[in-house]
Amino acid sequence: MSISQYFPIWDQLTPAQQDLLTASASKAQATKGTVLHNGSADCLGLLLVCSGQLRAYILSDEGREITLYRLFERDMCLFSASCMLQSIQFDIQIEVEKDAEFWIIPPDVYKSLMEQSSAVANYTNEVMSARFSEVMWLMEQVMWKSFDKRLADFLLQESVLDGTDQLVLTHEKIANHMGTAREVVTRMLRYFQSEGLVSLSRGVVKIENEAALRQLSER
């Protein structure tokens, strides 16, 4: 499929701008676990997801991760072109969470389009606002919501994303998503299991009582 089917405001570009984008964008594939972007020193380009799933996260000095947001089909990642956003510098990592196919738009090309087209500039601002809102929501959760509620909410979200109540997730992976230590996750999951909310096996968390988990997350 061509980039015209994925670029969200394709119809608002001039023919010359469409030609520029078509000629400069390249399609790529990556497998689960591949790190596509490694902080502000990297400037891969803008990523436009065709299929699969990407994860944006930050990494502490101690090596602890916390997931900021995820990217799905037709989502665009701006922070993989951090050199284009000179006033905003984030050491965000972008990892492939499910085997993915995506378009890469060179940062200089996209910057040129932003300067030429108010539609592209407005769309870019909308995407940035949406991402900042997600990050602010996450910060509120981390600061004000107890860990048992956050974990319950995380498990419910994963169940929706994967379409199953049997989640193939290690305790380490959950800890990486939530910005905490594996031991903390293990302790809370064992408590959930004792309460009949989940059952645990190697690399798998099975939701046994979705209603109770939801009640806990909303309490």
Of 143, 167, 193, which residue constitutes the final position of a domain?
A: 143
The verdict on 127 and 206 lying in the same domain is no
The verdict on 72 and 137 lying in the same domain is yes
The verdict on 10 and 104 lying in the same domain is yes
Residue 198, domain extent: 145-218
The verdict on 87 and 20 lying in the same domain is yes
pLDDT, tens digit, 9 for 90 and up, residues 75-94: 998 888 777 766 666 688 99
Give the whole-angstrom CA distance, residue 103 versus residue 122.
Answer: 21
Give the whole-angstrom CA distance, residue 5 versus residue 25.
Answer: 13
Residue 89, φ and ψ in degrees, nearest 5: -120, 120
The verdict on 24 and 122 lying in the same domain is yes
Give the whole-angstrom CA distance, residue 124 versus residue 127.
Answer: 5
Give the whole-angstrom CA distance, residue 27 versus residue 31.
Answer: 14
The verdict on 90 and 166 lying in the same domain is no
The verdict on 66 and 34 lying in the same domain is yes
The two tokens of residue 178 are: 């939530």
Question: Given this model, what pLDDT does residue 197 score?
Answer: 95
Higher pLDDT, 150 or 82: 150
The verdict on 161 and 96 lying in the same domain is no
The verdict on 134 and 44 lying in the same domain is yes
pLDDT, tens digit, 9 for 90 and up, residues 31-87: 999 999 887 667 888 999 999 999 999 888 777 888 989 999 999 988 887 777 666
Of 89, 117, 143, which residue constitutes the final position of a domain?
A: 143
Give the whole-angstrom CA distance, residue 186 versus residue 45.
Answer: 38
Supply the CATH number for residue 184's domain.
Answer: 1.10.10.10
Q: Is the pTM of this model over 0.95?
A: no
Give the whole-angstrom CA distance, residue 36 versus residue 77.
Answer: 11
Burial of 82 (0-12, 13-18, 19+ CB in 10 A): buried
> Quick one: which of 162, 161, 156 has its CA closest to 212?
156
The verdict on 70 and 94 lying in the same domain is yes
The two tokens of residue 139 are: 């910060």
Q: CA end-to-end span of the chain, whole Å?
A: 45
Of 113, 143, 173, which residue constitutes the final position of a domain?
A: 143
Helices (H), the chain: 15-24, 107-116, 118-144, 147-162, 171-178, 182-194, 210-218
Q: How many domains does the chain have?
A: 2
The verdict on 159 and 62 lying in the same domain is no
Give the whole-angstrom CA distance, residue 217 versus residue 151.
Answer: 8
